Chains A and B, each alone.
Chain A
Amino acid sequence: MRVSTRLYQDTGVNAMLEQQAKVSKTQLQLASGRRILAPSDDPSGSARVLQLRQSLSITDQFQINANTATSRLQLEESVLNNITNALQRVRELAVNGSNDINSNVSRGAIAVEVRQLLEEVLMSANSRDANGEYLFAGFQGLTQPFSRDASGNYLYAGDEGQRFVQIGPNRQIAMSDSGTEVFRAIQNGNGVFTTRENAANTGTGIMDPGSVNGSFVRETYTITFTQVLPTDPITYGVTDSTAAVIIPAGTAYQEGADITFNGVRTNIKGTPADGDSFTVSPSVNQDIFTTIDNLAVTLETGAGNDAGRAHFANAVNRFLTDIDQTLTRVLETETNVGARMNAIDSQFNINDAYSLQLKGAISLIEDLDYAEASSRLNLQLVGLQAAQQSFIRIQGLSLFNYL
C-alpha cells in the first residue's frame, strides 16, 4: 500500500501517544494501588464494591454495637455480683442470727448490718452507667427505679422494657434487664407456695417451708390444730379457703411427720397448741428489698418466750426460702448476662471473620496485582521506547537528504 508521509508521521506519533496513555494508566494504578480507577473500568465490580463496602460498614458497626453491649453487660454483671455477695452475707447473718445462743441485743446488732446490706442492695439496684442511665429502670433510664416510701414499702418507678442491640444481620441481643425482672417478679416461699404460722399461735410448732409433691392445687390452705385437753392427743385438720375439708379434723399429729395434700408436702415440728394454725398459700411476687426488710424486722423483733422463739424460727425459715428464691434469680440473671456476653463474643468473632472476608473480596475486585502491573509497566515502557526510537530513525529517512 502507498503510504503518505503525513500518515507515516501521524502513525508514529499516535503510537507514542497510545503507549504513553497506557503507561500513564498503569502508573496511576501503581500509585493508587487500585485496579479500578473509575467505575467504567469495571462497572459491575464497582457496584459490587459499593455493596461490599456497605456490608463492611454495617459489620464494623455491629462490632461497635457489640462492644457497647459488652461494656454495658459487664457493668450489669459486676452490679449483680455485688448484690449476690450482699445477699449471701444476709443469708449468713440470718443463719447466724437464728442460732439460739444469740440474745435479742446481738440480734439487734445483726439487724443493723442487715439494714446496711439492704441499703447496699437498694443502691446497687439503682446503679447508673457512665452516662448516668439507671441500669434497672427499663426504658425510663433517667428515672430512679427503686425507692422506699414513708411507710416502708418499696416502690418501682421503672418498667419492663429491655433494650436490645443489633450485633448481627439478624441478631439482636438484650443489653439490659428490667428491675421487675431481676428484683421484683420473684415468687416467695419455695416458688410455688409459702407457709406461714398464725401470728397468734401460742405453741412451739415450727413449720417446714415444704416442697411440691405432684401438682399444687392453687388455693390457700389452713392447717388447724386441736387439743381440747392437755392429755388429749394433738390432732389437726386441713381446710381450704372455702372451709372445704381437705384432711379431716382429728387427724393425729406426729412431730416431723409428712403432712401431704393437694401437691403440698410439709411437716411441723414442736408442739402446736390448741387452736394454733398454719397456712399454705400460693407464692406471690415479693421484691428483694421486702425480703431483706422482713429479716431485719424479724431480727429486730427477736424472740422472747418459747412461742416467740417458734415465731422467730418460722420467720427465719420463711426468709431463708425467700432469699434462696432471690439468690437464684440474681444468679440466673448473672448467668444469663454471661451467656449474652459469650454470644456477643462469638458473634464478634463471626463478624470479625466476615469483615476480613469482605475486605478480601473488596481487595480482590478493586486492588491491583502489583506483580502483574509492574511487569505490564515494563512491557509498556519497552513499547514506548521502541515507538520513540523507531520514530526518530524513520523520520531521518528522506530522499531529499540525498538530493
Chain B
Amino acid sequence: MANAGLLGVGISGLLSFQRALTTISHNISNANTEGYSRQRVELSTRPPQRAANGYMGQGVKVDDIRRMVSEFANAQIQSSTSSYKHLRAFYDLSSQVDNMLADQQTGLAPTLQGFFEAMQDVADDPVSLPARQVLLSEAGSLVNRFRFLDQRLENINQDINSQLRNIVSDVNSYARAIADVNRDISMVYGNGTGQLPNDLLDRRDQLVRELAEQVSVTTVLQDNGALNVFIGNGQTLVVGDKAQTIAVINNQYDAAKLEVGYVASVGTISISNQLSGGKLGGVLEFRSRVVESSENALGRVALGLARTFNDQNRLGADLNGALGGNFFNDIDQSSPRVLPNINNGGAPMADISVSVTDVSALTVSDYRLDYDGASFALTRISDNTVVTSLAAGAFTGGTPLTADGISLSYNSGGFAIGDNFLVQPTARAARDIDLQISNPSEVAAAAPIRSSADINNIGSGEISAGSVVGPPPTNADLQQTVTITFTSPTTYDITGVGAGLPSVGNVYNPSTGVTLNVNGWTADLTGAPASGDQFVMTANTNGVSDNRNALLLSGLQSAASLLAGANFQSAYGQLVADVGVATREADVTSNAQKIMLDQSVAQRESVSGVNLDEEAANLVRYQQAYQAAAQVISTANDLFDILLGAVRR
C-alpha cells in the first residue's frame, strides 16, 4: 500500500500544481484584461488515512479557484465612476460655452463696445451719413453676434439631444447584457456545486462599471447570484434576467428638447429630473444649469438692449425731422413665449400671451403658470417661488398677471385642473433680435423739440433745452409750438395747442424757477424774467446738428437698465462669470473625483490586479513543486524497481 500511496501522493501534487500553473498562466494572459480579477488556486491536504501508528498524509488537492476581489473597492469604483463621469461630461460641454463667451473674437463684448462707439461717433457728428451708416453696420454685427451665440447654444442643445439618444441606447444595451450574464450566473449557482463562475462575475462587474459611466446606479445582489440594478429614484433597470428599457421622449413643454423616459406599462414617464451621475447626469445638469440660463441671460441682454434703445430712439427725431421709430425689431413682443404642457386637459387649448413690461425687473429665470381650479399661480423656476397669483375668474376676465417685469394675459381657450404652462420671457430674444431700421437717416440723433427765448426779452430768464418725457409713445402734441409769456415777473401764461392749454396766471418764483411739463416735454425756467418776456418751445425742424438724443442713446451703454443696477455689459459679464464658475467648479471637482476614482482603482488593483512579478515567482514556485512531485513519482518507480530486483535475486 505504501508504494501505491507514494505514487498517489505524487500524482496529486502533479495534478494540483498543473492546475496552479494553469491558473497562473490564466492570470498572466489576462494581466491587461479590463475588469479581470486575479485568481488563485486554494490547495489543501487530502483527507489522511489512518494507519496503526498514526494518520498517513494522502497528498494535496485543489479546493477552489478563488477570485481575489474586494466588493467594497468595486462599489467605490462604481460610485466614483458615476460622479467623475458626471462632472467630466459637464466640464467637457461647459468648457465649450466657456471659451465661446469671453473670446475676443466670438464673445458679445467686443461687438457691444463697437456698437456704442459708433453711437458716440454719431453723437459727435450727427449730420454725417457715413457715421450713421457705420452705426447701422455695427448694429448689424451686434445682432449677428447675438444670433451666433444663440445658434451655438442651440447647436449644443442639439448635441445634447444626440448624446441623450446615444446614452439611452448604451444604457439599454448594458442592461440587456447584465441581464444575460445574470441568467448565466444563476444557472451556475443552480447546479449547487458552490463553485463560483469567476470570469462571469468579473464580466458582470465590468458591465455594471461601464453602466455607471453612463448613469448612476444602485445594485442589490440576490441569493441566486443575480444582480438587480436600479436607476433614478429606484426605477428597476435589471431584475434577474429581465432588463427594462428607458427611452428618449419630448420635453412636456418643448418638443425640441429631449428628456429621458422610463418605459412602464402605463406609458413612458419622464425621469430626467430623478437621474443623476454618469454622463447622463452631467449632460442633463449642464443643460438646465448652463445652456438654459445662458440662453436666458443672453436673451435678457438682447431684449433689454433692444427695448431701451428702441424707447430712446422713439423719443428722438431722425435726420428728416420725423419722430424716431424702433431701432431694433420689437422682440419683446415677438419672442417671449408661453408653452403649454402637452398633458394639459383644457379644451380648446388655452391661448395665453406674455409681454415684457419692464426690462429692469426682468430675471434670467423661466416661469411656470399653474392652474389649480381656483386660481392661477406664477412660479419663478430658478428659486421655485410663487411670484404672483390671481383668481381664475379675474385672469380669464382680462386682468393680467404681472410680476418680475412680465405680464401674462389670457386670450382664449379653456383650462383643466392641473394644467400648467412654461413661460419663457427671454429664452428666444437673442435668436429673434433684428435690425428694424435700414436707412441711416432714421437714427434719431436729435431731440424732436427745441426751446428759445425771445430775442427782445428784457429779464434774465432762461429756458433749458427741454427734453421729452419717456417712455414712448410720445404725446401727440409734443411738437406743437407752445409759448410761455410772462405777464409779470411772477406770473406766466402758457399758450398753444395741447391738453390743458392755454393755461394762464401760473405763479413763478424767480428764486426757485419752475419745471414746465407740457405736451409730453419738460423744461426748466430759471432766472428773473420780466413782464412781457417770451419763451417758445417748437418742433426741432431742420435740427440736423442736434445730438441730444444721440447723447442719451450713447448713455445707455453704462446705464443701469437691467435688474440689480446692471448695464448690458455687466449683465453679460455676469453670464461669463457664471459659466466660468460652473466650468471651473466642474473642473476642480472632477479632478478631485478623479483622484478618488484613482484611489479606488488602486485599491481594487491591489486586491484584484495581476502582478507579473508575483506570477513569475509563483510560476517558478509551482514549476519547482511540479518537478519535485515528478521526482516523487520517479522515486516511487525506483522503489518498485528495487523491490522487484530483490525478489528476482
Contact = CB atoms under 8 A, between A and B. Distances in A.
Interface in B146-178: none
B547 A164 contact: yes
B357 interface: no
Contact of B450 (A5, A159, A164): A159
B493 interface: no
Contacts of A285: 455-456
A40 B455 contact: no
A39 interface: yes
Given A3-B606, A47-B580, A140-B545, A58 B558 contact: yes
B489 to A, nearest CB: 12
Interface stretch (B6-14, B116-124, B261-269, B293-301): B116-124
B638 to A, nearest CB: 30
Given A38-B583, A51-B573, A399-B617, A137 B456 contact: no
24 contacts: A3-B606, A6-B32, A6-B610, A7-B601, A38-B95, A40-B581, A42-B580, A43-B577, A46-B102, A46-B580, A50-B107, A54-B113, A58-B557, A137-B545, A139-B446, A139-B546, A140-B543, A141-B127, A163-B546, A164-B551, A165-B123, A166-B551, A172-B551, A398-B616
Contacts of B458: 218, 282
A2 interface: yes
Q: Which of A3, A132, A176 has the most CB of B within 10 A?
A: A3
A48 B578 CA distance: 12
Interface residues of B, number: 78
A152 interface: no
Interface in A56-80: 57-58, 60-61, 64-65, 68-69
A5 B583 CA distance: 35
Contact of A50 (B117, B576, B614): B576
Interface residues on A, range: 35 or more
Q: Which of A2, A50, A166 has the most CB of B within 10 A?
A: A50
Contact of A399 (B112, B465, B613): B613
B105 interface: no
A191 B628 CA distance: 135
B579 interface: yes
A69 B125 CA distance: 10
Contact of A38 (B32, B98, B610, B611): B98
A60 B110 CA distance: 14
Interface of A: 1-8, 14, 38-44, 46-51, 53-54, 57-58, 60-61, 64-65, 68-69, 131-133, 137-143, 159-166, 169, 172, 176, 180, 184-185, 218, 282, 284-285, 398-400, 403
Contact of B120 (A5, A48, A65, A218): A65
Contacts of B530: 218
B124 A65 contact: yes
A395 B570 CA distance: 55
B616 A5 contact: no
Interface in B592-645: 598, 601-602, 605-614, 616-617, 619-620
Given A54-B557, A58-B557, A399-B612, 8 more contacts: A39-B576, A43-B580, A50-B107, A54-B112, A61-B120, A169-B558, A180-B455, A403-B620
Nearest to A402: B616
A138 B574 CA distance: 43
B569 interface: yes
A109 to B, nearest CB: 34
B649 to A, nearest CB: 46
A308 to B, nearest CB: 32
B243 interface: no
